[in-house]
Amino acid sequence: LHTDQDKGDGNLKYILTGDGAGNLFVIDENTGDIHAAKKLDREEKSLYILRAKAIDRKTGRQVEPESEFIIKIHDINDNEPKFTKDLYTATVPEMSGV
């Protein structure tokens, strides 16, 4: 997150709110850089909605409208197969379809 109002003099503070703000997602209040602080798992939660804003440190006023971020988590196959027996038997008839 960055605003054209930011002159790099430290007069602005960036604030992040919403799902997971402060624990899963963190913002550098001086630069506006947003990072995921932990590994995200789609099986726990697949969608996060965050809002970020830049405020003037002296007045506490927003310098431009709040931004909304929708973060969608895609799944990877991170669950290895578990086999309960040592040996499995199966048959496939000849000329079977794929």
Are the beta carbons of 1 and 34 closer than 8 angstroms? Answer: yes
- Per residue in 34-76, pLDDT (tens digit) is 999 998 888 889 999 999 999 999 999 999 899 999 999 987 7
Domains of the chain: 1-97 (2.60.40.60)
Global pTM reads: 0.68
Q: Residue 10: its pLDDT value, please?
A: 79
Cα(72)–Cα(88) distance, rounded to whole angstroms? 38
Cα(35)–Cα(82) distance, rounded to whole angstroms? 34
Q: Residue 92: its pLDDT value, please?
A: 92
- Residue 50's DSSP bridge partners are 18, 69
- Per residue in 82-94, pLDDT (tens digit) is 889 999 999 999 9
Amino acid at 68: E
Cα(51)–Cα(68) distance, rounded to whole angstroms? 4
